Amino acid sequence: MITIKNVTKEYAGKTAVKNLDLVVPDGKIFGFLGPNGAGKSTTIKMITGILPIDEGTITVNGYDIASQSIEAKKLFGYVPDSPDIFLRLKGIEYLNFIGDIFDIPKDIRKEKIENLTKSFGIYEALDNHIQTYSHGMRQKIVVSGVLLHDPDVWILDEPLSGLDPKSSYTLKEMMREHAAKGNTVFFSTHVLEVVEQLCDEVAIINKGKLQFRGNMKEMKEQFEADETLEKVFLELTSNE
């Protein structure tokens, strides 16, 4: 569970997130939506400890990300919006590095690396530098790294962008399974079809403020039932 309490963040004099309150419950796939520059990435970066929080608190399964950061970070896996990291490492070196950091025993590590990378179709590229990977392959290796340590909480920033249909399907299935086991899946996206297919609950943020939070049914009820999600989204985030 992720609990965001009254969080505010300012960037160069501009308020990026204002008094945000949000609880991401266990056992559900939670979609985080908003137009470009709405504060989605800023929020995710505060949850993961990349950005300091100006006001308020964020806890992950009860651990405060600011004061108990190591404990909190051990509980989540994070897929950043840009997978262009550690490009000079080989795929296998990156996964082994993650394995060392999360203390994954060798036999489990070996089995998981094989299973994950085979299901994403990057197994045969493991001995090459990440630099040589395509965008989608980079995304897959980062996702594999996250799944390798089997965290309770998944935090994914635009996880499906750049993935081919098969891998996209695989990841979505994995997200469903993970949530079904009672874990947390929190992800941001622009793609409304994905939200409709996948999410149990959504939150829509615009200009740093929460516009809506609820399940898909509530969202449709709040607006006219026959409206498409696209129209609802546009209405909620229309600039004035």
Partner 1 sequence: MNKTFRLIRTMLKMQYSLAGKSSGEKIGYVLLAIFLIPFSGIIISVLNSIVETLYDQLAPSGNENALLGLLFVGMTIVLLFVSLSSVLSSFYFAEDIEGFIPYPFHPYQLLAGKAAAPFINLYVTSGVLMVPILTLYGIHSGAGFIYYIYALLLFLIFPVIPFTMMAILLMFFMRFANIAKNKDRTKVFAGLLTFVFIIGFNVIIRLNQNPEQTAEGAAQLIQQQNGLLNIITGMIPTAYFSTMALQNAKALNGLFFLLLLLALSVGTIFLFLTAGQKLYFKGVLGLTAGSTKKFNSGKVSKKIKTQPVFLALLLKELRIIFRTPTFFMQIVVQSLFGPVFLVVILVFESSSGSIGALGSMLEQFDGKAPLLLLFILTLFILGVNPASYSSISRDGRSWPANLYLPVPAKTVIFSKVMTAWLINLLSIILLAAVGLAVIQMPPALFIAWIILTFLASWFTSLVGTSLDLNDPKLNWTDEQEVFKSRFISLIALLIEMGTFGFIVLLLWNIDSLQSLWMTSLLLALLLTIAIGISHVALRKLIGTKFLKTR
Residue in the structure block whose two tokens are 């990977």:
133
CB of 149 to partner 1, least distance (A): 9
Site membership for partner 1, residue 192 (CB under 8 A) = no
Please calculate the CA angle 41-47-50 and round it to the nearest 5 degrees: 70
CB of residue 100 to partner 1, shortest distance in Å: 4
Is position 109 an interface residue for partner 1 (rule: CB under 8 A)? yes
Among 13, 14, 36, 105, binds partner 1 (CB under 8 A): 105
CB of 69 to partner 1, least distance (A): 8
Tally of CB atoms within 10 A around 175: 20
102 binds partner 1 (CB under 8 A): yes
- Longest CA–CA span in the chain (Å) reads 56
Closest approach of partner 1 to the CB of residue 197, in Å: 28
C-alpha–C-alpha distance, residues 37 and 78, integer Å:
20
Options 28-36, 102-110, 168-176, 185-193: segment touching partner 1 (CB under 8 A): 102-110
150 binds partner 1 (CB under 8 A): no
Which CB sits closer to partner 1, 23 or 85?
A: 85
| 179 neighbors 187 (Cβ within 8 angstroms) | no
> In this chain, which stretch among 35-43, 92-100, 160-168, 193-201 interacts with partner 1, using CB under 8 A?
92-100
The DSSP string of 185-220 is EEEEES-HHHHHHH-SEEEEEETTEEEEEEEHHHHH
DSSP state, residue 129: B
- Of the candidate residues 13, 14, 106, 238, the single one contacting partner 1 (CB under 8 A): 106
Binding to partner 1, residues 28-87 (CB under 8 A): 45, 48-52, 69-74, 78, 80, 82, 84-87
Q: How far is the CA of 130 from the CAs of 63, 114, 182, 190, in angstroms?
A: 33, 17, 33, 26
CA dihedral 175, 50, 21, 75 (to 10 degrees): 50
What's the closest the beta carbon of residue 85 comes to partner 1, in angstroms? 4
Binding footprint of partner 1 on the chain (CB under 8 A): 45, 48-52, 69-74, 78, 80, 82, 84-90, 92-93, 95-102, 104-106, 109-110, 113-114, 123-129, 131-132
